[in-house]
Every structure is written in structure tokens, then in C-alpha cells.
Structure 1
């Protein structure tokens, strides 16, 4: 636990984080997130954050050393996609019980589980995650993993991020620490080249990275490792031989990018593949970093030619949507990199942004939003459901872009809604992804169902014709019988 405590303090003292550098020593020790309420994991705990970062590594076995519910609550909570291995889709847990805890059988059960996975699946590596229970009772996960690695001849990686140590964002960074300590740099590739890069913080949600990788392939740029989206263990182990890196989500793995730059001289920048302009700028910066690291400068010209071709195609496709969407008002209730990258992407085609949340956004994210919107009034830290409903029901926005948690607020307000968070079904990255995003917004806003649901219900429009018609004898007799019964009940039991 002392090692874990030291590692957490190291993560809190992140020199690459501008917000963290501005704090005094006392504030820095508290980290960036609000403390968790004991027993409440809403928004994700540290274990959940670590699992999110590492589970998309598709060919390794992810073993949860904990009671069954920990794995049940964390399995497949992101829409990451794989182009090959499916082992990451299999749940592995030691299913620790009360008897195991009382009798001290946890470590032995963990060792046995590692052996069964090795014999039954033969993965290139096994990642072991302790959770609150196993950390609190003092299970020596690192010792068991080291012994198992020696015994079975494969890497067994301890991921020390039990839920009680902090928030999901802290778990993201602890996962990066585990990769640095046990994975990256453990294998030397025999094919390292001057055009190798790493992509950090890209999760390949709905296969988004597959829309970007062909662009890099056309430039002759090889993605040595995409961490974690659609990653392989061997690629991550060789990631230290890349020449440059792009950081997609700095709140998750900024510590990984900084330490890889310190240890292996891999420069990085933060960019986005959302929107035409941002995608083009990301490609330019990747090429420029590679040239600084020794690549042939001719790649700069090829990059500009590729950008010109792809932008022309994308703008031609978007031209059909501009008359239908120009002036439409969008409210974004998301966070992180999407709080500014999606804003910029939508404004490129004339859509008005009436508000965007900056929850889980860094200081750099917030500064980008201010530069794009030119108005702080459209930026909010967090909007309560009641306020969100009021804004939508008053028709201050034509569509809500958010995650699944707020979709029912939009539906109650009879407002179109589109999912842009991790559960989304469509990829929105790159040039083709931007066209797809605009297409989905157009389909949502112009869906004829909204005209129907906003109309008054038929029973609110029909005149009370029935009251004007004379009652039949049977109706009159029934009404008298009901009134007499009600009177009798009132006499017997008193009036309500």
C-alpha cells in the first residue's frame, strides 16, 4: 500500500498539467477530482478508470481479483472495437467469496486463476486488477504476479488501482503507470522506422480510428501503438521506439505521454480528429514532429496534398447539408476533448452552439472553447437536469448532443437527441466521420416524428360533444347507482 500511495502522489504532481502547476503544494496533493463518497461509485471509481484504459488491449486476458460484482459492473462499459482478437470480450474473475477472505485463500485462488487462463487461452499477457476488497485485506498482488510470470513464462501485469483510492480519471493515469512500469520497453522491435508514431488516449469507439488510420497509411506513417484502442500487447511493448506521439485525450494519459518523452525522447502534442480543420491540423503536426525527428521533409508536401484532396471531398459532401442545418442551435452536454473539438467541427458548417459543458475538461480544453466561441456565457461547468429540461422545453436548442444519461431529458422535452459519448453507434472521427456526424444530426432534427409528438393530444383538441348529448336510460340508471353507492360508503366510513 505504501508503494501505491507513493504512485498516487506522483500522479497528482503532474508537471505536464497546466492546472496542476498552478496549485500550491497542499492543493496538489488532493488531485483534480472531487473526493468520492464512500459506497458510491457514480461517475466511476479508480478501478473502473483503469479497466476502461486497458480493456481495449484486445489480445490479453483481463483478470479481476475481486468479488464477482466488480467485474460485472465494469465489463464492456465502452464501445471500443477490435479488428481481430476477441479475448478482451471474455470476463475473467477470481470471484472472491467471504470464505476466501476469512480463510486467507485469495492469493492462492489468484495464482490458480492465472494458471487456468494460461492453459486454456494462451494469451501473450495477463493483466490483474485488484479492487477495494482485495486491497483492503492486504493481498500482495505484485508478488503473486511476479511468481506467476516466472512459473508460466508470460507477462503477468499488476494494475494497482483499487476503487477507493480515487476517481475514474485517477484510475486512467494509474493504468498508464502500469504500462510504463511493466509493458512499454520490454520488447525491442526489429522493424523500427522514421515514420513510426504512437496515438495515446484513442479508444477506437465504434471503430473511429479505422477512419483515421487509412489517412496515415497513405502518408507512409505507421502507428506503432494506438493506446488503448484496438491495441495488441506486442505493439504496446514496442511503443518506446516510436518517433512522435499524438495525445487525443490528455485527461486520461498525460502522464504516459510526458514520461515517454522523458525516457525515450518521444515528443508529443495534443490534437483532435473531430472536424475537418482539426483533422487536417493533426496530420500536419504529426508530419512536422516526424521531420524534426529525422524524417524526410518531403512528407510535408505529401501531407498538404492529402489534406487538400480530402477536404475538397468532405466539403462537397457537406454542401448538401448546409442549407438544412445552417442556423440550427445545438446544446452539448459532454466533456473532455469533445467539449471543444465537436464545437469547432459543428461551427464549420454554420451550426450555432448555444451551450457546451466543460465537465472533465482541462484548463487547455476550456481555453480552446473560449477562443472558439468568443463568449463565456455559452460555457457551463454542469447543468442540472431541471435546468437542462427547461432550456430544451423552451426550444432554446434544436438538438441535444450528449451521452445516454441525459437522453430521456431531451425526449421528455420533445427535443431531438444524438449520442456522442462512448456508447454511440456511429464513428465521427476524421473527414468521413465529420460527414457522418452531420448526417446523423440532420436525420435527428428533421425526423417527422417531432412534428407529431409536439402537437396537442387528440383528447385535448376534441370538443366536449358527449356532454351535450342526452343520456340514455341505462346511462342515467348507472349514474344514479354509482351516486347511491358513494353516498352509502360515506355514511359507513365517513367522508375522505
Structure 2
């Protein structure tokens, strides 16, 4: 337990994080996120964060040691895609019950579950995740995993990140520690080359990394390991032989990138594949790092030629959308790397940014936003749903880009909305991804449904109609008199 405390404290003292270095000792112990409220679903726990980082490893069996509900909490919560194995889509849990807790059957049940997975599926490795219940009752997960690995002859990796440890972000980093201590460096590849790289913090959401990998293939750059998107266990085990690394989401795996640089001299940089300019810059930095590590400098020329060709194609495709989108106003309610990368991407085609959330962004992310927007008046840490609704209902933005949680605010305000978070159905990375993002924004804004829903319903009484009501009532009364007069006889008239 003392070693686990030391590990968590080491994560909190991350020296590669500029924001962390600015904190005092007390603030650093509190971590990156606000403390969770007991019993509240506040964006995920440490277990959820660890599962998010590791589950996209596609050929591994992910076994949850705890009650059934814990597996339902995080399974299938992201749209990561696989080009091969589908074992990661199978849910494994020990389904611990109250009787198991009372009788102390947790460790025995875990060992039995590992054996059954080994016999039925034969995976290259099994990852075991303790939960709040099994951690509190004191099940020795590491001892069980060690015994099972010796007995069954395959890696059984304990991921010590029970939910009560802290926030989802802490779970992300603890998952990185598990890979560093028990997976990376355990296998020596026989095909290491001068153009091997790692991509860290890329989840291959909606298969978007598949839009970037062909660009690297054309440069002769091999992705030794993409962690965790569309990853295989063997690739991650050999990741220590890469020559350079790119960090896509620093808040998740910055500790992994830093320690891999310290142990195996793998330099890294933080970049983005969102937007034309940022994609080009990422390709340049990858090539430059490889040259510094001994690759042939001719790759720099090939990179510039590829960038020139792909940018010309992308801008030609975007030309058709510029007249329809230039001057349109976007409200961006996301965070992290997308707080600046998507901002830059949209501004490239003339879209105006009304505001962008920097809730999960680092200091570096915020500085980039200021650089693009020229000030911080368009940045907000967190905006209440009522404030979001006010902006949209007053037509201060033409569309909102956000996650699924806030889509109903936009729909209530009768404003177009587009999902750019993990549940999205379309890939937005790379040059083709940028074109797809613009195409989806154009489709959303110009969808005729918005004109229809904004029209008054037939049963609504508009102000103009209300003003005419007295005159209409008078005319109706007069009409009734005329109708009654028309129905009288000549004799009746003579008597009048």
C-alpha cells in the first residue's frame, strides 16, 4: 500500500506539466481535477479513467474484479475503432456479490475467471482492474495476477486504479504507469528501424487515426505503437524501441511520455492532427525529431512535398464551403487539446469563434487559445447550461460544437449542434478529417429543419395577431348580424 501511495504522489508531482510546476505543495496533492462529490456522477472516477485509456487495446481481455455494475459503468463508453481483433468488445467481470464479500471468495473467484478467459479465448494478455469494493475488502490483486501469470504462462497485468482513488484524469495516468511498469519493454522487436515512432494519447475515435496513418506510411514512418487507439499488446510491449513520440492528449499520458524519454531516450512533442496547419506542423516535427535521432535528412524534403500536395488538395475541397460558412459563429463547448486545435482549424476557413471552453485544458492549451483569438475574452472555464442556452437562444452563435451532454441545450434553443467529443460518428483528424468537419458543420447549419422549427406553430398566438383580435371580433359580430338579417322575411321588414 505504501508503494501505491508513492506512485500516486509521483503522478501528482509530474514535472513535465507546466501547470503542475506552478502549484504549491498543498495544491499539487489535490491533483488536476476538482474532488468528486460522493454519490454523484461527476465525469468519471479513477477506475473509469484507467479503463478509458486501456480498453482500446484490442486483443487484450479486460477483466473487472468487482460488482457487475462497475463494468457497465465504463464499457463501450467511447467510439474507439479496431482494424482487427474484437476481444476488447467482450465484457469480462468477476461479478462479485455480497455473499462473495462475506465469505472472502474474491481472490479465488478472480483466479478462476482468469483461468476461464485463458482457456476460452487465449488472449496475449489479461488486464485486471480492481474496483472500490475489492480494494476496500483487501483483495491482493497483485499476488493473484502474479500467481496466474506463472500458472497459465501469459502476462496478467494488475491496473491499480479503484474508483475512490480520485478523478478520471488520475486514472488515466495510473493506467500509463501500469503500461510502463508491466508491459512496455517486456518484448524486444527484431525489426526496429530509424523511422519508428509512438503516438500517445490517440484513441482512434470514429477511426480518425486511419486518416493520418496513410500520410505517415507515405513518408516511410512506421507507428511502432499507437497508445491506446487500435493498439495490440505486442506493439505496446515493443514501444520502447521507437525513435520519437508525439503526444496528442497531454493531460492523459504526459507521465508516460516523460518516463519513456528518461528510460529509453525517446524525445516527444505535443501536437495535434486537427486542422490543416496543425497536421502539417505535426508531420514536420515528427520528421525533425527522427532526423535528430539519426534518420536520413532526406525525409525532411519528402515531408514538405507531401504537405504541399495534401494542403493543395484539402484547400481546393474547402473552397466550395468558404462562401457558405465564412462569418458563421461557432460556440465550442469542449476542452483539452480541442480547445485550441479545433479553434485554429475553424478559423482557417473564416469561421468566427464566439467562445471556447478550456475546462480540461493545460496552461499551454490556454496560451494557444489566446494566441489564436488574440485575447481571453472568448475563453471560459465552465459555463452553466442556462448561460449556454442564453447565448444560443439569443442567436449569438450559429452552431454549437460539443459533447453529447449539452446537445439538448442547443436543441431546446433551436440551434444546430455537432458532436466533436468521444461519441462522434465522423472522423475529423488529418487533412481529409478537416474537410469532413467542415462538411458536417455546413450540413448542420444549412439543414432546412432549423428554419421549420423556428417558425411559429399554428396554435401559437403571435403579437401581430393579438393586436388584430378586437377588429376581427367586430367584423365577426357584424357578419353574424348580416347573416341574421338575410334570413328574415319581407313581412318582418315591414313591421320594423
What is the CA-CA distance between 1:80 and the residue it aligns to? 0.1
What is the CA-CA distance between 1:61 and the residue it aligns to? 0.0
Per-residue Cα deviation, 1:354-384 (whole angstroms, up to 9, x for no partner):
0000011111100110011002110000010
- TM-score scaled by length of structure 1: 0.93
| Aligned counterparts, 1:322-471, within 5 A | 322-460=322-460
The size of the alignment, in residue pairs, is 496
Moved more, 482-491 or 251-260: 482-491
What is the CA-CA distance between 1:494 and the residue it aligns to? 53
Q: Runs of 4+ in structure 1 displaced over 4 angstroms? A: 461-496
- Indicate the SS of the match to 2:134: helix
Which has the larger Rg?
2
- Indicate the SS of the match to 1:471: helix
Counterparts of 2:396 and 2:426, CA distance in 1 = 26
Per-residue Cα deviation, 1:249-293 (whole angstroms, up to 9, x for no partner):
000000000000000000000000000000000000000000000
- Indicate the SS of the match to 1:479: helix
- Indicate the SS of the match to 2:226: strand
Question: Residues 7 and 460 from structure 1, CA distance in 2 versus in 1: closer, same or farther, beyond 3 angstroms?
Answer: same
What is the CA-CA distance between 1:399 and the residue it aligns to? 0.1
Counterparts of 1:310 and 1:202, CA distance in 2 = 22
Structure 1 spans left out of the alignment, 5+ residues: none
Counterparts of 1:278 and 1:491, CA distance in 2 = 94
Counterparts of 1:307 and 1:461, CA distance in 2 = 58
Counterparts of 1:490 and 1:258, CA distance in 2 = 106
Per-residue Cα deviation, 1:75-121 (whole angstroms, up to 9, x for no partner):
01000000000000000000000011010000000000000000000
What is the CA-CA distance between 1:225 and the residue it aligns to? 0.0
Per-residue Cα deviation, 1:208-240 (whole angstroms, up to 9, x for no partner):
000000000000000000000000000000000
- Indicate the SS of the match to 1:353: strand
What is the CA-CA distance between 1:477 and the residue it aligns to? 21
Counterparts of 2:495 and 2:177, CA distance in 1 = 71
Counterparts of 1:163 and 1:481, CA distance in 2 = 79
Question: Residues 21 and 481 from structure 1, CA distance in 2 versus in 1: closer, same or farther, beyond 3 angstroms?
Answer: farther
Per-residue Cα deviation, 1:289-348 (whole angstroms, up to 9, x for no partner):
000000000000000000000000000000000000000000000000000000000000
Counterparts of 1:276 and 1:48, CA distance in 2 = 33
- Indicate the SS of the match to 1:488: coil
What is the CA-CA distance between 1:460 and the residue it aligns to? 2.1
Counterparts of 1:489 and 1:66, CA distance in 2 = 92
Counterparts of 1:445 and 1:369, CA distance in 2 = 24
What is the CA-CA distance between 1:473 and the residue it aligns to? 21
Question: Residues 181 and 494 from structure 1, CA distance in 2 versus in 1: closer, same or farther, beyond 3 angstroms?
Answer: farther
Counterparts of 1:297 and 1:350, CA distance in 2 = 36
What is the CA-CA distance between 1:5 and the residue it aligns to? 1.4
Counterparts of 2:483 and 2:293, CA distance in 1 = 92
- Indicate the SS of the match to 2:73: helix
Question: CA RMSD of the aligned region, Å?
Answer: 7.2
- Indicate the SS of the match to 2:288: helix
Counterparts of 1:322 and 1:382, CA distance in 2 = 31
Counterparts of 1:495 and 1:203, CA distance in 2 = 94
Counterparts of 2:69 and 2:117, CA distance in 1 = 20
- TM-score scaled by length of structure 2: 0.93
What is the CA-CA distance between 1:474 and the residue it aligns to? 24
Question: Residues 196 and 484 from structure 1, CA distance in 2 versus in 1: closer, same or farther, beyond 3 angstroms?
Answer: farther
| Aligned counterparts, 1:226-237, within 5 A | 226-237=226-237
Question: Residues 314 and 146 from structure 1, CA distance in 2 versus in 1: closer, same or farther, beyond 3 angstroms?
Answer: same
Question: Residues 104 and 438 from structure 1, CA distance in 2 versus in 1: closer, same or farther, beyond 3 angstroms?
Answer: same
Per-residue Cα deviation, 1:413-456 (whole angstroms, up to 9, x for no partner):
00000000000000000000000000000000000111111111
What is the CA-CA distance between 1:29 and the residue it aligns to? 1.4
What is the CA-CA distance between 1:485 and the residue it aligns to? 35
Moved more, 29-38 or 405-414: 29-38
- Indicate the SS of the match to 1:124: coil
Moved more, 457-466 or 485-494: 485-494
Counterparts of 1:230 and 1:371, CA distance in 2 = 33
What is the CA-CA distance between 1:26 and the residue it aligns to? 1.9
Cross-structure match for 2:72: 72
